[in-house]
């Protein structure tokens, strides 16, 4: 996890512009570099480093003697870099996983490069010999990337939007800052003036397609094909374990977020098992946050005892959570209701990890709900086919919601997040399964995933079959949800009259509740006029919901009242 920033064709003094690069310093607390491009005095790179792999030679932009005309700034981890090196006979100059991007590009161009990378990434690649600039981002947008491109060819690129919004340019303030789409790459011509012109934007991978890099995976072929239940369960276990194993690549201490729900518990259990197998000689630290005796704390405690992790509990108090709202919204760059609610706990537990421990590489369970149909409202899906379509929609929008939350809340404290449920191979296999297999069954969501691990003894049965609990709800007590606590506080902060006129003040995605209005006010304070970053609020489907919390749905109420 790092922070990348680059400008091409700046009319303003670069020493002034580079102040914007400091807005993402939290992403890389270990080192910083600002470097001009030879022959292009108005082009430069900025890089904030979190040293996780090759601590000696990992500074960026990466340049190697073999390709003096290539400049690479990337944020991410390429898990198959050693397999690619072996398959193609690449001669590496460093131990940095990202160096493989230079070799792949030299061998086969940008299309092959993006398609062959097994990992999470956002990168800026400059080829001064062919006068090209390339931008690319991984399939699910696990690593963030924003860009601004003016009509006259000034390009700014950054890991977070906050590093671009204050850039100066001769024609105007740079206003059209937008997220770079996941699973895409862009080709731009670099002019002698340092300005650029976009040539094409190409989608290189869809979540349903088996990735091209399967040939360079540690598990090359599954032992058996077909959709009979035992085969499917076995393949799910093999691919999930493989997803966790490849993410063990790190020179810094590994930890794991543990809410006590199915997803984080499975990640923690498999992670600890694999760490023992490869003789990692320190205990796995797991981290839970919640109010005293909240469902998440109690469940996480049970999991930690079962797997034998060194468990840490962070007790959340209401005042601390409320005080964190503004800094959380600033970090997130969104005003989405459920994203903010869930981010407060994750932001505070990340703060604890950074201050109180030496864990830096943090595993988490993001992506499972979208992939395995874990949200409560999937019980209301009209058909398995519509449920499958909804699952794919949610995966495509992860970069706006859960993946955004997970990245920003951890990156704000200089931590690197790893999300095995979003492994390209695992997700494409799961999505290839018949729609009927993937739906909730017997009133239980994520039924297939739970069933796949039932005989593994990785988790206590009551955790493996624990019903879905939204993170923002599970950290509070059963009697009063975290969202209710927030609403009670905000009710005193927003006047009824303000809410009545909300649609006039904020015509795009107008706030419908005081809570929503309160978040929007804070967002506009820091990112005025940028409301289009959020195309729509996250809301459950097929139910008449006015609030995104699972606890407002009938299915949840009946389950907890039995």
Catalytic machinery residues: 2
CB atoms within 10 A of CB 501: 12
Using DSSP's 3-state secondary structure scheme, residue 124 falls into strand
Rg (CA), the chain: 23
Tell whether residue 486 is among the known ligand binding residues: no
Buried b / exposed e across 507-529, counting CB within 10 Å, b at 16+?
Answer: eebbbebbbbbbbbbbbeeebee
Q: Minimal CA–CA distance to 418: which of 41, 48, 119, 49?
A: 119
Is 202 within 8 Å of 111 (Cβ atoms)?
yes
The first and second tokens of residue 541, run together, are 């489907």
Tell whether residue 365 is among the known ligand binding residues: yes
Is 154 within 8 Å of 174 (Cβ atoms)?
yes
Tell whether residue 97 is among the known ligand binding residues: yes
Q: Provide the Cα torsion 365, 207, 221, 99; round to 10°.
A: -80
Using DSSP's 3-state secondary structure scheme, residue 123 falls into strand
Buried b / exposed e across 159-194, counting CB within 10 Å, b at 16+?
Answer: bbbbbbbebebeeeebeebebbebbbbbbbebeeeb
Q: Minimal CA–CA distance to 260: which of 302, 226, 232, 213?
A: 302
Tell whether residue 364 is among the known ligand binding residues: yes
CA atoms of 418 and 268, how far apart (whole Å) = 12
DSSP string, 148-204: EE-TTS-EEEESSGGGTTT---SSS-----EEPPTTEEEEEEEPTTS-EEEEEEEE-
**Residue 63, phi then psi, degrees to nearest 5:** -135, 140
Q: Provide the Cα torsion 505, 511, 516, 520; round to 10°.
A: -30
**Residue 236, phi then psi, degrees to nearest 5:** -60, -45
Instruction: Give CA separation, 353 vs 19, 299, 332, 413, 437, in Å.
Output: 28, 20, 19, 8, 38
The first and second tokens of residue 468, run together, are 């879905």
Secondary structure of 493-507 in HEC code, one letter for each residue: CCCHHHHHCHHHHCC
Kindly give the interhelix angle for 229-246 and 262-277, rounded to the nearest 10 degrees.
70
Is 288 within 8 Å of 297 (Cβ atoms)?
yes
The first and second tokens of residue 78, run together, are 């390429």
Which residues contact residue 40 at a Cβ distance below 8 angstroms, ignoring those fewer than 6 apart? 8, 128, 190, 194
Which residues contact residue 442 at a Cβ distance below 8 angstroms, ignoring those fewer than 6 apart? none
User: CB-side exposure of 278: number of CA atoms within 13 Å?
Assistant: 13
Tell whether residue 481 is among the known ligand binding residues: no
Using DSSP's 3-state secondary structure scheme, residue 521 falls into helix
Binding annotation for L-glutamine: 97
Binding annotation: 97, 257, 289, 364-365
């Amino acid at each position: 996890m790092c922070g990348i920033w680059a400008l091409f064709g700046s009319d303003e003094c670069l020493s002034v512009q580079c102040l914007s690069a400091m807005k993402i310093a939290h992403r890389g607390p270990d080192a910083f570099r600002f470097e001009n491009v030879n022959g292009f005095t108005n082009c430069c790179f900025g890089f904030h480093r979190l040293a996780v792999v090759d601590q000696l030679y990992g500074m960026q932009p990466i340049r190697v003697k073999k390709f003096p005309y290539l400049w690479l700034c990337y944020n991410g981890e390429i898990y198959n870099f050693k397999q690619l090196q072996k398959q193609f006979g690449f001669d590496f100059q460093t131990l940095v996983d990202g160096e493989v991007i230079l070799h792949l590009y030299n061998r086969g161009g940008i299309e092959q490069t993006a398609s062959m990378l097994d990992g999470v990434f956002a990168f800026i690649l400059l080829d001064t010999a062919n006068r090209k600039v390339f931008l690319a981002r991984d399939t699910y947008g696990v690593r963030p990337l924003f860009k601004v491109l003016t009509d006259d060819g000034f390009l700014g690129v950054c890991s977070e939007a906050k590093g671009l919004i204050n850039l100066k340019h001769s024609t105007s303030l740079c206003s059209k800052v937008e997220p770079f789409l996941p699973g895409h790459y862009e080709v731009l011509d670099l002019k002698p003036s340092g300005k650029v012109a976009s040539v094409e934007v190409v989608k290189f991978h869809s979540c349903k397609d088996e990735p091209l890099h399967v040939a360079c995976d540690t598990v090359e072929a599954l032992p058996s094909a077909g959709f009979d239940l035992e085969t499917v369960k076995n393949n799910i276990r093999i691919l999930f374990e493989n997803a966790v194993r490849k993410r063990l690549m790190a020179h810094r201490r590994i930890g794991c977020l543990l809410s006590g729900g199915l997803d984080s518990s499975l990640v923690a259990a498999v992670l600890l098992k694999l760490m023992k197998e490869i003789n990692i000689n320190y205990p796995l630290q797991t981290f839970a946050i919640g109010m005293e005796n909240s469902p998440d704390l109690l469940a996480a405690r049970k999991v930690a005892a079962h797997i034998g992790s060194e468990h840490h509990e962070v007790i959340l108090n209401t005042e601390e959570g409320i005080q964190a709202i503004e800094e959380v919204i600033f970090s997130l760059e969104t005003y989405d209701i459920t994203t903010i609610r869930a981010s407060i706990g994750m932001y505070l537990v990340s703060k604890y990890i950074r201050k109180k421990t030496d864990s830096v590489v943090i595993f988490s369970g993001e992506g499972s709900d979208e992939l395995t149909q874990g949200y409560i409202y999937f019980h209301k899906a009209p058909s398995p086919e519509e449920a499958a379509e909804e699952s794919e929609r949610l995966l495509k929008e992860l970069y706006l919601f859960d993946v955004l939350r997970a990245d920003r809340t951890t990156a704000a404290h200089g931590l690197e997040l790893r999300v095995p449920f979003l492994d390209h191979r695992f997700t494409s296999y799961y999505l290839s399964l018949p729609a009927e297999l993937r739906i909730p069954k017997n009133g239980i969501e994520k039924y297939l995933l739970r069933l796949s691990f039932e005989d593994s003894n990785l988790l206590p049965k009551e955790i493996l079959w624990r019903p879905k609990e939204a993170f923002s709800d599970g950290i509070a007590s059963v009697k009063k949800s975290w969202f209710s606590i927030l609403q009670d506080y905000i009710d005193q902060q927003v006047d009824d009259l303000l809410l009545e006129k909300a649609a006039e003040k904020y015509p795009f995605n107008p706030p419908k509740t005081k809570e929503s209005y309160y978040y929007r006010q804070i967002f506009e304070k820091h990112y005025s006029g940028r409301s289009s970053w959020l195309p729509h609020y996250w809301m459950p489907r097929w139910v008449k919901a006015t609030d995104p919390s699972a606890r407002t749905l009938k299915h949840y109420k009946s389950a907890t009242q039995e």
